[in-house]
Amino acid sequence: MGRKERAWERAGRPVMRSPGRPPVGRREHRQRFWAAIARGVASEDAGVEAGVSPAVGVRWFREGGGMPSVTLAAPSGRYLSFAEREEIAILRAGGCGVRETARQLGRSPSTISRELRRNAATRSGGFEYRATTAQWHADLRARRPKPAKLAVNDQLRRYVQDRLAGVVQRPDGTAVDGPPVPWRGRRHGRRADRRWARSWSPEQISNRLRLEFPDDESMRVSHEAIYQSLYVQGRGALRRELVACLRTGRALRVPRARARRGKRFVTDEVMISQRPADAADRAVPGHWEGDLILGLGSSAIGTLVERSSRFTMLLYLPPMDGRDGPRVKNGPARIGHGAEAVRDAIANGITTLPQQLRRSLTWDQGAEMAQHAQLRVDTGLQVYFCDPQSPWQRATNENTNGLLRQYFPRGTDLARHNADDLAAVAAALNTRPQDPRLENPRRGARRALGSDGLTARAVLRRTEAGTRRRQRQTGGLQDMPSAIAAPARPPGEPPRRQPHHPDRVAARGPAQPSPASP
């Protein structure tokens, strides 16, 4: 009597270990999770978005080292999905045959027959088909485990480890251990000792291998492979604690979208790209740039610079009450440049100007401007924010801050200066002789303010003239009224030469005769 054939033998696949507890999430759950991580969402929120608990999202992120454990590409449709496997299980329970099931799913009968044979649950002694078990079998079969190159090449692994965590040596060859830093499984804290090592970057190691081993193709590894060996658990190549030797010392990789995540109060509607065009050419007064200069003990002074006239205003930010008391976590600000203090200081200074000189304010994405919406309501000043890490978009203000450091050096306590001191420094800057091509800032501000006879109507007239000049430069005359647009020049006629301004002619002196041509 022959041996009875087992169910797994008839299934045409080898013995598989018990699935045990079913996985928390399937492939599509992990794909949704890592897609949310790539957008910059936190691990807990990404887990909820993927359909699992926040704790599972944190565990997935740490197990993957901050790197996706599954491909984010959409399924091609070549393989059965979990929804199709559930439909197969329902149809089989209803008594449908292979061809009827294939007809309803739009699949080939051979695909359904192969699915029922390979991915059936055989531990009960039969060929029961359950969608969860079939999906588990398919996921195990889809894996393509490949040993890491650093795990199988001992010489390459030793070379990488020595360049990452090699001992620092003196010129005479004596090793220097540096401060003792235990590995805690997370990034080093602020103002704490770090591990001393050679600390070559993975890019430097990868490029150096080509120079030191030009003829040995086995001594090649990409920088991304080194990063994966450090961060991904289960690779078995490099020890996890070697991440402390990297530049950043991060225990987990941070997605780019999360690293460059901006402030919550900054939206697309208030970015510098939405700022009016008249603020860029400096033709119309009333567009300001602002920033804070910081000093010792978190002391600060606010600076406002008008783009057209370079007129400077300094904002007095006194320290708040209870500054020297104990610090309370998530408590109110103890320093003078919180969001409320900066909002009030700007409002008190800018409201002394007429409405025509309160057109816009450009600031960086600092937390001190978190209440910019209330500032716009109080003063009518449109607030715009620069792009992250783009100080050149406030070039006038950055230049002024450099001049102010002559009066307020770095590392000094700025809280010892009162409002009268700031007014004196601002007056000193505004009365400085500048480039002859630029008018004196105080004179330009006085002319705009109307103190020398120029009224608000004249300011508006100058604004309209500047707008017409820009439209002529950009070719927008076809949309202007015929009474304003200049008549077209007949073809073939040379362009008219504009007369010289009398003041410029007097300053230039009499014209010098041109040298006679040989």
Residue 399 has pLDDT above 90, yes or no: yes
Report the pLDDT value the prediction gives residue 432, as an integer from 0 to 100.
81
For the ranges 24-33, 374-383, 433-442, the lowest mean pLDDT is seen at: 433-442
- Domain membership of residue 444 (yes or no) is yes
**Phi/psi of residue 292, nearest 5 degrees:** -115, 140
Q: What 3-state class would DSSP assign to 100?
A: helix
Instruction: Tell me the β-bridge partners of 303.
Output: 291, 314
Q: Tens of pLDDT along 152-190?
A: 899 999 999 999 988 888 888 888 888 888 888 777 777
Structural domain includes residue 384: yes
Same domain, 106 and 173: no
Among 449, 476, 509, residue at a domain's last position: 449
pLDDT confidence of residue 465: 55
Of 103-107, 135-139, 140-144, 256-260, where does mean pLDDT reach its minimum?
256-260
Do 311 and 354 lie in one domain? The reply is: yes
pLDDT at 256 over 50: yes
470 within domain boundaries: no
Q: Which two tokens stand for residue 413?
A: 């306590």
Out of 118, 142, 166, pick the residue that ends a domain: 142
**Count of CB atoms situated within 10 Å of the CB of 60:** 24
- Indicate yes or no: pTM above 0.75: no
CA 66 to CA 43: how far, in whole Å? Answer: 10
Identify whether 506 is part of a domain.
Answer: no
Instruction: Inform me whether the pLDDT recorded for 489 exceeds 60.
Output: no
| Percentage of residues in the chain having pLDDT higher than 90 | 24
Measured distance between the N- and C-terminal CA atoms of the chain, rounded to whole angstroms: 124
Exposure letters 73-99 (e unless 16+ CB within 10 A, then b)? eeeeeeebebebbebbbebbeeebebe
Task: Report pLDDT for 492.
Answer: 54
> What's the pLDDT band for 28 if we cut at 50, 70, 90?
confident
Q: Are 196 and 168 in contact (CB under 8 A)?
A: yes
Whether residues 130 and 225 share a domain: the answer is no
Asked if pLDDT for residue 425 goes beyond 60, the answer is: yes
In terms of domains, do 168 and 56 share one?
no
| CATH number for 298 | 3.30.420.10
Q: Do 201 and 310 belong to one domain? A: no
Residue 429 belongs to some domain of the structure: yes
Q: Are residues 168 and 317 in the same domain?
A: no
pLDDT at 348 over 80: yes
Same-domain pairing of 43 and 74: yes
Query: What total of structural domains would you count in the chain?
Result: 3
What's the whole-number mean pLDDT along residues 443-449? 53
**Does 459 have pLDDT greater than 90?**
no
**Domain presence at residue 177:** yes
Pairing of strands 300-306, 168-169: unpaired
What residues pair up with 289 in beta bridges, in sequence order? 305, 362
d(CA 375, CA 304): 15
Other beta carbons within 10 angstroms of residue 369's beta carbon come to 24
Higher model confidence: residue 1 or residue 54? 54
The DSSP call for residue 76 is -
pLDDT tens-digit readout, 288-340: 999 999 988 788 999 999 998 889 999 998 876 655 556 565 555 555 678 88
Burial class (CB in 10 A: 0-12, 13-18, 19+), 5: exposed
Residue after which a domain boundary falls, among 208, 229, 254: 254
Give the DSSP letter string of 347-390.
HHHHTTS-GGG-SEEEE-S-GGGTTHHHHHHHH--EEEEPPTT-
- Segment 364-386 shows an average pLDDT of 89
Single-letter residue type at 179: P
Among the residue ranges 9-13, 220-224, 390-394, the one predicted with the least confidence is 9-13
Tell me the pLDDT of the chain averaged across its residues.
78
- Based on the fold, state whether residues 273 and 407 are members of the same structural domain: yes
Handedness of CA 446, 449, 451, 456 (dihedral sign): positive
Tens digit of each residue's pLDDT (9 = 90 or more) over 120-144? 877 666 678 888 888 888 887 777 7
Residues of the domain holding 358:
268-321+333-449
Q: What is the pLDDT of residue 257?
A: 64
Same domain, 19 and 50: yes
- Residue 503 inside a domain? The answer is no
Tell me: do 171 and 291 sit in the same domain. no
Whether residue 424 is found in the same domain as residue 309: yes
Let me know if residue 456 belongs to a domain. Answer: no
Q: Are residues 309 and 202 in the same domain?
A: no
* Contact assessment for residue 448 and residue 454, using Cβ atoms and an 8 Å cutoff: yes
Cβ distance 439 to 285 under 8 Å?
no
- Mean pLDDT of the 273-284 span: 86
Residue 400 has pLDDT above 90, yes or no: yes
